[in-house]
Structure 1
């Protein structure tokens, strides 16, 4: 059950980025280019898949539970920080980079 919830949250946010991008383009970052906002949405899944190889190493060295807990804390913190972003580069660091590393931290 917990694996389902983890995948639901992680992939749900990643695959629904188009909704975020539309909000960012129309409401929050009106002067930002679409390509800059698209880069934020592409960075998350890219980092998520690249860091997957290291997740197994961390899970073997520590416990799976501690790795999942660390990833959950990173993901939650990244989305809270992304809500406070006032510039696109801040959004890229929080929602793009940190959230992408969170699921497999």
Structure 2
């Protein structure tokens, strides 16, 4: 199975202000928590994540084996920005960067 980009995580410095704007655009969120606000846009996840808004959005590719894909990208010259971490019972994420510093998000097991 090839990786599929199914989500975009947008870091925001003011969650309430961002939620007002994105809710006006996308409708009511399916998840509305202090640590994550998620919208389903025809099967594509748009998420607001409180944090450093200057870091910019990250598109996440769903992969079967997060560690193997991460190792392949690191061997190809990517660098690690955020180490793998558990975000749900069966889901881990990490963020790498290409040679220009552009983020590459991976989501898998």
Which structure shows the higher helix fraction? Answer: 1
Higher relative contact order, chain-length normalized (CA < 8 Å, sep 6+): 1
TM-score by length of 2: 0.27
TM-score by length of 1: 0.28
